[in-house]
Amino acid sequence: MEYTHIVWDFNGTLLDDLAPCIDVLNVMLKKRDLPPCGEERYKEIFGFPIKSYYETAGFDFTKEDYAVLADEWAELYREASAESGLCEGALEALEYFRAEGATQIVLSATEKEMLDGQLDALGIKGYFDETLALGNLYAFSKVELGVEWVRRVKPKRALLIGDTLHDCETASAMGIECVLTASGHQSKARLQKAGVPVYGTVYELVKALKP
């Protein structure tokens, strides 16, 4: 394994939180008398910045403030995702990369305090040398965080593992390699347009990397 650094996305890549995210979205839609969203549509519309995804889902930010909605989402999500576990193969992957001597970090558009709490709850915080996350709940982009990390660390060869097109965009801006898994928040058909390897699960990814 030739990678010196593994950069992990969190939601949908390590944390299996697809179902609670859809549940929370539908609670919020119902509150506003908007049509519900099924898993297939969710995977086709979810993306970054999150505000644009909300607009596609039907929210009208001429009638309400995005910051208020972001706070509402966070409160609902904390409860809905409390029982969420790791994605298939995530723990095996963390163990594999640790055994190979790679430095592992988390790079997430999640708010930092929330992310640290989730990593603690999952019992995996010890696998990571750093957790890079945003200072607010608005989930605009993590590109700047990633680019700054590369400037600071200067990794010899890094790989970003994610589950959305934004992960691929982030890796490109960072100048590092990327692979995607289709067990998270976007459909495999969407991910395949990125032009990078796409695996069904993190488990399949690790199998492909092992000699």
Kindly state whether residues 137 and 204 are assigned to the same domain. Answer: yes
| Chosen domain end from 80, 101, 131 | 80
Kindly state whether residues 100 and 66 are assigned to the same domain. Answer: no
Please write the tens of the pLDDT for every residue from 140-179. 568 888 999 999 999 999 999 999 999 999 999 999 999 9
Note down the domain range covering 29.
18-80
pLDDT at residue 49, rounded to an integer: 86
pTM: 0.93
Kindly state whether residues 47 and 11 are assigned to the same domain. Answer: no
pLDDT at residue 39, rounded to an integer: 97
Kindly state whether residues 65 and 139 are assigned to the same domain. Answer: no
Kindly state whether residues 13 and 98 are assigned to the same domain. Answer: yes
pLDDT at residue 140, rounded to an integer: 56
pLDDT at residue 173, rounded to an integer: 96
| Chosen domain end from 54, 80, 106 | 80
pLDDT at residue 190, rounded to an integer: 95
pLDDT at residue 141, rounded to an integer: 65
Kindly state whether residues 99 and 145 are assigned to the same domain. Answer: yes
Kindly state whether residues 143 and 40 are assigned to the same domain. Answer: no
| Chosen domain end from 60, 80, 100 | 80
Kindly state whether residues 36 and 118 are assigned to the same domain. Answer: no
pLDDT at residue 135, rounded to an integer: 63
Kindly state whether residues 138 and 53 are assigned to the same domain. Answer: no
pLDDT at residue 15, rounded to an integer: 96
Q: Name the stretches of the chain with pLDDT < 50.
A: 136-139
Kindly state whether residues 146 and 193 are assigned to the same domain. Answer: yes
Kindly state whether residues 98 and 165 are assigned to the same domain. Answer: yes
Number of structural domains, the chain?
2
DSSP string, the chain: ---SEEEE--BTTTB--HHHHHHHHHHHHHHTT-----HHHHHHH--SSHHHHHHHHT--TTTS-HHHHHHHHHHHHHHHTTT--BPTTHHHHHHHHHHTT-EEEEEEEEEHHHHHHHHHHHT-GGG-SEEEEESSS----SHHHHHHHHHHH--SSEEEEESSHHHHHHHHHHT-EEEEETTSSS-HHHHGGGSS-EESSHHHHHHHH--
**CATH label of the domain that carries residue 117:** 3.40.50.1000
Kindly state whether residues 44 and 141 are assigned to the same domain. Answer: no
